[in-house]
Amino acid sequence: MPLVRIALRRGKSAAHIKAIRDGVYAAMHESFEVPEGDRFILVSQYDADEFDYDPSYLGIERSDDLVIVQMTCNNTRGVPQKKAFYAAVVENLKANPGVRPEDVLINLVEVVKENWSFGNGIAQYA
Span 43-71, mean pLDDT? 98
97 is catalytic: no
**Under 8 Å CB-to-CB from 69, ≥6 apart: which residues?**
4, 5, 6, 24, 89, 104, 105, 106, 107
Mean pLDDT of the chain: 97
Which amino acid makes up residue 81? Q
Which amino acid makes up residue 35? P
**Under 8 Å CB-to-CB from 70, ≥6 apart: which residues?**
4, 5, 6, 7, 106, 107, 108, 109
pLDDT range class, residue 1, cuts 50, 70, 90: confident
Radius of gyration of the chain (CA): 15
Active-site pick, 2, 35, 97, 101: 2
Span 83-109, mean pLDDT? 98
The Cα 3–Cα 110 span in angstroms is 11
Structural domains present in the chain = 3-115 (3.30.429.10)
Span 18-29, mean pLDDT? 98
The Cα 17–Cα 107 span in angstroms is 19
pLDDT of residue 31: 96
Question: How are the residues of the chain apportioned to helix, strand and coil, as percentages rounded to the nearest 5?
Answer: 35, 25, 40
Span 86-112, mean pLDDT? 98
